Amino acid sequence: MSGVTHVSSPPETTGRGTVTMRALSLLGAFDERHRRLTLTEMAARASLPVPTAHRLVGDLVAWGALTRDPEGRYVVGRRLWDLGLLSPVQRGLRDVASPYLHDLYGTTRATVHLAVRDRGHALYLDRLAGHSSVPAVSSVGARLPLHATGVGKVLLAHAPEQVRVEVMASLQRLTAYTITQPARLRAQLDQVERNGYAVTYEEMTLGACSVAVPVRRRGEVVAAIGIVLPRLEATIQRHVAALEVTARGIGRGLDG
Amino acid sequence: MSGVTHVSSPPETTGRGTVTMRALSLLGAFDERHRRLTLTEMAARASLPVPTAHRLVGDLVAWGALTRDPEGRYVVGRRLWDLGLLSPVQRGLRDVASPYLHDLYGTTRATVHLAVRDRGHALYLDRLAGHSSVPAVSSVGARLPLHATGVGKVLLAHAPEQVRVEVMASLQRLTAYTITQPARLRAQLDQVERNGYAVTYEEMTLGACSVAVPVRRRGEVVAAIGIVLPRLEATIQRHVAALEVTARGIGRGLDG
DNA sequence: ATCGGGCTTCCGTCAGACGGAAGTCGACGC
DNA sequence: GCGTCGACTTCCGTCTGACGGAAGCCCGAT
């Protein structure tokens, strides 16, 4: 470790693109809405001629980045799943937090979330949902808006001003209760910072409220945890207490 | 979907290898024991000249397959994590099973495992461990031996004869209680098949016993779930009952 | 100041990528 | 059955972008 300068950011010659980039763009053809693709579809989504895609995909399959499902469609392979788990995308955080979250789930029996901020979104790192939990849109790996979720508000309240400005610029309405006025949101964020917790009332999904608190490491907010409930009533304080215990546990775990 | 023939398996010209393969081999340089690598290390592990690796890694970083950590080392990037989650590596199974497993955890407060057989190993797809749970070596994505774990024995008992033979050929000793005699193991597997559940007594890790049952989909064993406890005593039947309820739930969920 | 290890840039050579065209395969309709 | 169609796979002549040794750079250690 020494001469760490920087990888020359891609000049993007707008030409053909390197072979590597082309191969990667084929992987990029997969997303939440496209988990199974035919060769032709992949080629189209990656803007590559079919024979070229065919060659590259051959390599990807040989290595295990892709596999074919029973119908012959291509799907993301096991090897990428393995690699993904290796990613330090907050891996330390997930590993440390996991037992605490399960304990919390055991206590509350509510859907539990662990999220970090990824640019202008809340990135869900873990999610525990029992069977009887409130149905929710979240899932591990999902990116949800910062302004309409419990963990999102916490993360936003502790984000740099620049991020807040960007997010405020387009507050998408998701339900009748979504906060779409920048001023109101800003007021809430101030409260979140003061109170140390955030709440939402059906702002993301009807029938789902949430409470969330920050996870701090050496004082700095590194993540947020929250629970989702059908309604909050007067139970907020109790939940906040449980969440805070958990958050402190995780914070300590991160240092150890 | 039609002319599904087959991707010509790599003739492996033993030459330089395609660009794509080289890029992938750089990703392959990462594993559980090498999560953070310098450029030079990656190049060495992939048997590539440093300047070549540098160019390829540049692309991988630009695309998001790799990132640099604060110290300048390379680590698996967020985008691969995303992709990995997309992998159908039993994704349906994990998604369906998740709530059931959480319920089971809520009831037993023991470490809960969900695993499938991957060749001669048990591949752990999910793992719930509370804080007070028995410390265990397992983790999501891990591959553990079939002969020394609860879920492993279940999966092995329902595996094709060929797999059983292969596994029997080398029964690695892990603790003083690991079963290393093929005959004894085979007798146990017969019992597992008859009884419908498997148990282990500190065969993988000292201080950790386990009970496991198969998850069936339309009669066929597709996975196994199990719990880990400090000891089993006379509680086996109760745990088996809880596990079976869960397994049936998952099995039904898979069909729905 | 000097050294060494690792990262980055250069650039002349040429291996290997490229992709249009043609061949194959299976499904479907008549 | 036969023809059509869509999708996959193979071929192969062209030529581009990959290759990697050498040199330069940067930083920390001596």
A76 and A144 part of one domain: no
Once rounded to an integer, what is the mean pLDDT over residues B182-201? Answer: 94
Once rounded to an integer, what is the mean pLDDT over residues B58-74? Answer: 90
A68 and A189 part of one domain: no
The integer distance in angstroms from the CA atom of B5 to the C1' atom of C30 is: 27
Residue B9 pLDDT grade (very low, low, confident, very high; cuts 50, 70, 90): very low
pLDDT tens, residue by residue, A138-174? 788 889 999 999 999 999 999 999 999 999 999 999 9
Per-residue pLDDT for B19 more than 70? yes
Residue B23 pLDDT grade (very low, low, confident, very high; cuts 50, 70, 90): very high
B168 and B251 part of one domain: yes
Lowest mean pLDDT among A182-196, B24-38, B81-95, B171-185: B81-95
Q: What is the mean pLDDT of chain A?
A: 86
Q: Identify whether A7 is part of a domain.
A: no
B155 and B40 part of one domain: no
pLDDT at B109: 86
Q: Write down the ipTM of this complex.
A: 0.82
A163 and A240 part of one domain: yes
Per-residue pLDDT for B236 more than 60? yes
What is the number of structural domains in chain B? 2
Strand A143-145 and strand A111-118: pairing?
unpaired
Residue numbers of the domain that contains A231:
87-255
Closest CA to B229 of B110, B141, B147: B110
A224 vs A151: CA distance, rounded Å:
5
Q: Is A43 helix (H, G, I), strand (E, B) or coil?
A: helix
pLDDT tens, residue by residue, A80-126? 998 998 888 778 888 888 888 998 888 888 899 999 999 899 999 99
Confirm or reject contact between B1 and chain A (CB < 8 A): yes
Q: Identify whether A66 is part of a domain.
A: yes
Q: Which nucleotide is nearest to A4 (CA to C1')?
A: C7
Considering only CB atoms, B76 lies closest to which of A19, A86, A249, namely: A86
Considering only CB atoms, A10 lies closest to which of B62, B99, B118, namely: B62
Q: Identify whether A4 is part of a domain.
A: no
Hey, which residues 213-242 in chain B have their CB within 8 Å of chain A? none
Q: A132: which DSSP letter?
A: S
Q: What is the mean pLDDT of chain B?
A: 86
Q: Which residues of chain B neighbour A112 with C-beta distances below 8 Å?
A: none
Percent of chain B with pLDDT over 90: 52
- Which of B86, B93, B101, B222 to mutate to probe the A interface, most A CBs <10 Å? B86
A103 and A43 part of one domain: no
A77 and A198 part of one domain: no
Once rounded to an integer, what is the mean pLDDT over residues A122-133? Answer: 85
pLDDT tens, residue by residue, B104-154? 888 888 899 999 999 899 999 999 987 766 666 778 888 999 999 999 999
- CATH code of residue B45: 1.10.10.10
Q: A58 and B130 in contact by Cβ < 8 A?
A: no
A140 and A169 part of one domain: yes
Distances (CA, A) of B125 to A78, A218, B36, B210: 11, 33, 24, 17
Q: Identify whether A146 is part of a domain.
A: yes
Lowest mean pLDDT among A5-19, A150-164, B21-35, B51-65: A5-19
Per-residue pLDDT for B13 more than 80? no
pLDDT at A250: 81
Burial category of B172 from C-beta neighbours within 10 Å (exposed 0-12, middle 13-18, buried 19 and up): exposed
B75 vs B93: CA distance, rounded Å:
29
Residue B2 pLDDT grade (very low, low, confident, very high; cuts 50, 70, 90): very low
pLDDT at A11: 34
Q: B9 and A69 in contact by Cβ < 8 A?
A: no
Per-residue pLDDT for A67 more than 80? yes
B144 and B109 part of one domain: yes
Hey, which residues 139-158 in chain A have their CB within 8 Å of chain B? 139-141
Distances (CA, A) of A56 to A13, A17, A53, B172: 21, 14, 5, 39
Once rounded to an integer, what is the mean pLDDT over residues A5-32? Answer: 69
Residue B7 pLDDT grade (very low, low, confident, very high; cuts 50, 70, 90): very low
Reading the block at residue B100, the tokens are: 């059931």
Q: Identify whether B64 is part of a domain.
A: yes
pLDDT tens, residue by residue, A1-12? 433 333 333 333
pLDDT tens, residue by residue, A188-227? 999 999 999 999 999 999 989 999 999 988 888 999 999 9
Sorted by sequence, the CB contacts under 8 Å of residue B72 that are 6+ apart come out as A1, A4, B38
A44 and A162 part of one domain: no
pLDDT tens, residue by residue, B146-179? 999 999 999 999 999 999 999 999 999 999 999 9
A98 and A201 part of one domain: yes
A115 and A174 part of one domain: yes
Q: Identify whether B24 is part of a domain.
A: yes
